[in-house]
Structure 1
Amino acid sequence: MTTTDAENAKSVPLQRGPVRGEERALAPDLARGMMLLLIVLSNTAFHLWAARRGPSGWQPVDGGWADRAVQFTMITVLDLRVYPLFAFLFGYGMMRLYLRQTEAGTSGRAAVRILRRRSLWLIVIGLSHATLLMAGDIVGYYGLLSLFLGWLFVRRSERALKWWIGTAAAQLVLFSSLPVVIALIRGELGSLGDSGAEAGFEAYASGEESALAALGTRLTTGLFITFVGAPFALVGGGYVVFLLGFWAARRRILEEPGRHLRLLRRTAVSGIAVGWLGGLPAALAHVGALDVPDDAQSEEGALTILRDVTGNAAGIGYVAAVALFAHWWTHRPGRRGATAVVAVSAVGKRSLSCYLAHSLIFSPLLAAWGLGLGEHLTSATMAVFAVGVWLVTVAGSYALERAGRRGPVETVLRRLVYRS
C-alpha cells in the first residue's frame, strides 16, 4: 500500500456492515413477528368502510355476538396498544445498531450518520406507503421521530437517558391529563371530546370509490401523521417508550433475558394489567355494558385518553412477555414447536417487508377503489381474514429463511443505508 492509499484509508470513517444472522437474538425477532400479527389485526377496523360506527368513530357497532366479542377484545387488547410495542422495538433496534457500529470501531458521529440515513429513507418509504396503499403508515412517523431522537439521545450517558425518560413520562402524564383536569374543574368530564366529529377511519379513504381521490386523501393523512403527529409526540412525551427501548438495548435485555427475569416478569404482569384495565371501560361502553356519554367515548374523550396513556404500559408488557417466552423456550428440553417459532421470528427479521405486504394484500382487495370486499365483511370475518394475511407472510418469510435470503425491502434499505 502506498502512502497516499494509507492516508485515504485513514480519512474514510470505519464502518461495519449490517447485523449478521449469527448475531441475532430470538426475543427481538420473535417480538417483531408477533407485533405484525397484532398490527394487522388492529388495522382491520378502517377496512370495514361500510359498517356503522359508534361514538369513537373507529370500531363498528353492528354485527352479531362474535363481532361484538372481537370489538371488545380489540379495544381492550390492541387499539392504541400495539404502536407503543412498535416504538419500543424500533428504539431498541436503533440503539443496538449504534452499539454494534461503535463496538466494531466506528466513531460515534459516523454511527449517528448511519442512523440518520436510515431515518431519512424510512420517511421516504413511509410516505410512499401511505400515499399508495395505507394512510395510517407508522414507518414514516417513526422515521421522523428517530431522526431527532437518534441525534439528541443515542450518544447520551445512561444517567442522562434515565433522566430524560423520567422527563418524557412526566410530559406524557401532564399533557394527557390536562384536558381531563380542566373538564373536572368545570364539571364537564362527560362532555370532553366530540362524538359528532368526522369519524377517524374516513381519513384512510378505504370507502372512497375514486382511486385518485383516495390517493389524495391518503397523502394528506400520511403527511399529517408524519409531520404533525411526530413533532406533537416530542412535545407531549410520546417518545418515552422510544427512550425505554434505548435504555433496554444498552442493558441487552432482549438478547439476554435470563439475566433480567425479575424485571421482565414484573413488567409483563404490571404492564399488561394496567393496559387492559385502562382499555376496559371503553370496551364495556362500546358493547353497551357501561352507560357513558358519547363524547367521553369519542377520539378526544376521557376514555380514549385513558386508553392511550395506559397503552404504553401494555406495549412494553407485551415485549416483556415475549422475552420471557423466548427464554423459557430456549431452555426447554426438545424445544417443541421449533418450526412455528422459527417461522414467526423469520417474520420479525423481515418485519418491514411483511408490514408493507399486508397493505399490498389488504388495500386492493378490501377498499372501495379496489375490489370493495370490505363492504361485505364484519369485525369477526375481517379478523379471520387478517390472520390469514399474516399467515401468508409467515409462510413467505419461512421460505426465505430456509433459502438464506433477506426480505426484499430490508435488502434495498440496507444497500441505501450502508451504501454497499
Structure 2
Amino acid sequence: MTTTLTAAPAVDHRGPVTGRERALAPDLIRGAMLLLIGLANSANFAFAGQPGLESAPHGFERILNFLKLTLVDARAYPVFAVMFGYGLVQLARRQQSAGATPGAVRRILVKRNAWLVVFGLIHATLLYFGDFLGAYGVVGILCTVFLLNRSDKFHRIVFVIWGLMAVEALAFGAKAVLAVVNSSGPAQPLTNSPNPSLGATSYVASLVDRLQEYPMHAASVLGVSVIVWLGIWAARKQILENPGAHKTLLTWTAAVGLGLTIVGGLPLALVGAGWLHVDKTAVDAMGTLSHVSGMFGGPGYVALFGLLVTRVKKLSLPVRAISALGQRSLSGYLFQSVAWTLLLTPFMLNLRLSSTAYTAALVAIGVWIISVLGAYAMSRRSYRGPAETLLRRLVY
C-alpha cells in the first residue's frame, strides 16, 4: 500500500527546505564523501586519464594506489547515487506535508531534475567531462515518474535486483580467481586510459574534446538507477533521520556492503600497488570485478556514516563544518572541478611534485579542506551556496 501523508489544505507547492528541517546524517555523508570524489577526480586530472594512478609505483605510491583502488575508485559516486534517491523522497515529503498537491510535487521534482541536466551539461562542457549531475537529473526524472508513488510492496523489488547483483559480483569474482590461477603470459601493469580533454594544451581544445567525451560518460552513469532506487527505499523508511532506531540494519549493511566492495577491489589493488603480477586477461577480469563490486560501497558507506551519527553526542566544530559542506554539496562539487582545472591542467598552473600521485592526493585534500571552511563560513552567514541558490531560484 502506498504511504500517504496527511497534509494541510492543498497548495501549489512550498519553498525550499529550511535549515531546521535538515537531518544530520545525510548532510554529514555528502560533505565527507566529497573528499573521496575529490581524490578520484583530482587523480584523473593529474594523470590526464583514468583510473588516475602511478603505473610503476614506488614507496608510498604503492599505498596510495592500493587505498584508491579499494576505497575510492567506483566506490565514491554510488554514495551520492544513494543520497540522490534519498533526497528525492525528502523533497517530495516536505512538499506533501506543506499541502502541495501530488501534481505540484511531481512538477517541482521534474523541473528540479531537468535543471540538473542543464547544470550537468554546462559543467561537462566548461570544466570536466566526468560529470554526474546530468545523468542524475535524467534518473531523477525517471524515478519521479515511475517510482516515487509506488507501494512499499513494489519497492521491495529493489532487493531482488540487489540480490541478483550480488550473485553477479560473486560470479565475476570466481572468474577473476580462475584468471589469476591460469595466468601465464607477461605481467600486465595497470595503466591510465588517456582522456584527451584532460591532456589538452589549450582550453579551447579541451572544450572540444569534452563535447565528444561527455555523452558516452553520461550514458555509462545511467546504470546508477538501481542504486538511486535503494536510496528511495531507505528514505521512505526515514532511516537516516533516525539512525538509532535502525542500528541493526545499518550495521549489517555497512558490514556486507563495505565487505563486498573492499574484497572485490582487493585483487586489482594488489596489481596497482605492484604486489601482484598477472597477465592481461587476469587484469581485465579484476577490473570488471572491481567495477561491479564498487556499487556496494554506496549503501556500505552510507550505513557506516549513519552508525557514526548515532555516536555523535554534540555537534562539534568539525561535524558542523563538514555538514555545512554537505548542505552545499552541489557548490562543493562544482568548486572542485574549477580547482582541478586551475591547478592541474596543462594550460593553467599544471602543478606537479616529484610524484603525480602525491600531487593528486595533496591537492584533493587541500581543496576539500578549503571547501569545508568556505561552506562553514557560508553557514555562519545563512548563505545557502551559489549553486544551491541558483538552482532554488530556477525551480521555485
TM-score normalized by the length of structure 1: 0.84
The aligned counterpart of 2:4 is none
> Cα distance, 1:258 vs. partner?
1.0
For 1:290 and 1:36, the matched residues in 2 are separated by 30
Asked if residue 358 in structure 1 is aligned to residue 349 in structure 2, the reply is no
Asked if residue 33 in structure 1 is aligned to residue 31 in structure 2, the reply is yes
Aligned with residue 101 of structure 1, among 95, 102, 105: 95
Asked if residue 149 in structure 1 is aligned to residue 143 in structure 2, the reply is yes
Post-superposition CA distance 1:32-67 (Å, at most 9, x none): 0011111001112212237xx8xx864222343112
SS at match of 2:311: helix
> Cα distance, 1:130 vs. partner?
1.0
Aligned with residue 160 of structure 1, among 154, 158, 179: 154
Asked if residue 125 in structure 1 is aligned to residue 119 in structure 2, the reply is yes
> Cα distance, 1:200 vs. partner?
3.2
Asked if residue 265 in structure 1 is aligned to residue 258 in structure 2, the reply is no
The aligned counterpart of 1:279 is 265
For 2:316 and 2:348, the matched residues in 1 are separated by 38
Query: Aligned in 2, Cα 1:416/1:160: closer, same or farther, shift over 3 Å?
Result: same
Aligned with residue 388 of structure 1, among 366, 376, 380: 366
Aligned with residue 220 of structure 1, among 188, 203, 212: 212
Query: Aligned in 2, Cα 1:147/1:230: closer, same or farther, shift over 3 Å?
Result: farther
Post-superposition CA distance 1:77-113 (Å, at most 9, x none): 1111001101000110011111211222212222111
Aligned with residue 202 of structure 1, among 186, 189, 195: 195
The 8 Å contact of residues 27 and 255 in structure 1, kept in 2 or not, is answered as yes
For 2:343 and 2:33, the matched residues in 1 are separated by 23
For 2:147 and 2:168, the matched residues in 1 are separated by 22
Aligned with residue 54 of structure 2, among 60, 65, 89: 60
Deviates more, 1:318-327 or 1:26-35: 318-327
The aligned counterpart of 1:24 is 22
User: Structure 2: any 5+ residue segments left out of the alignment?
Assistant: 1-8
The 8 Å contact of residues 47 and 356 in structure 2, kept in 1 or not, is answered as no
Amino acid at match of 2:134: G
For 2:35 and 2:249, the matched residues in 1 are separated by 25
The aligned counterpart of 1:3 is none
Deviates more, 1:129-138 or 1:347-356: 129-138
Amino acid at match of 1:229: S
User: Structure 1: any 5+ residue segments left out of the alignment?
Assistant: 1-9
Asked if residue 288 in structure 1 is aligned to residue 280 in structure 2, the reply is no
Aligned with residue 312 of structure 1, among 280, 284, 295: 295
Aligned with residue 71 of structure 1, among 65, 73, 98: 65
Query: Aligned in 2, Cα 1:264/1:196: closer, same or farther, shift over 3 Å?
Result: closer
The 8 Å contact of residues 116 and 147 in structure 1, kept in 2 or not, is answered as yes
Asked if residue 116 in structure 1 is aligned to residue 99 in structure 2, the reply is no
Amino acid at match of 2:199: G
> Cα distance, 1:185 vs. partner?
11
CA RMSD of aligned residues (A): 2.9
The 8 Å contact of residues 126 and 140 in structure 1, kept in 2 or not, is answered as yes
The aligned counterpart of 2:220 is 229
For 1:15 and 1:407, the matched residues in 2 are separated by 22
Asked if residue 134 in structure 1 is aligned to residue 128 in structure 2, the reply is yes
> Cα distance, 1:198 vs. partner?
9.7
Post-superposition CA distance 1:316-335 (Å, at most 9, x none): 11111111111110xx3xx3
**What number of residue pairs does the alignment pair up?**
385
The aligned counterpart of 1:346 is 324
For 1:219 and 1:146, the matched residues in 2 are separated by 23
Report the identity percentage. Answer: 39
Amino acid at match of 2:121: L
TM-score normalized by the length of structure 2: 0.89
> Cα distance, 1:167 vs. partner?
3.6
For 2:244 and 2:202, the matched residues in 1 are separated by 54
The aligned counterpart of 1:415 is 393
Aligned with residue 380 of structure 2, among 394, 402, 408: 402
Post-superposition CA distance 1:180-236 (Å, at most 9, x none): 999999999869xxx899953425x2211022111111122222222x2245x2xxx
For 2:356 and 2:189, the matched residues in 1 are separated by 24
SS at match of 2:47: coil
The aligned counterpart of 1:4 is none
For 2:375 and 2:316, the matched residues in 1 are separated by 15
The 8 Å contact of residues 85 and 231 in structure 2, kept in 1 or not, is answered as yes
For 1:323 and 1:179, the matched residues in 2 are separated by 30
> Cα distance, 1:294 vs. partner?
2.3
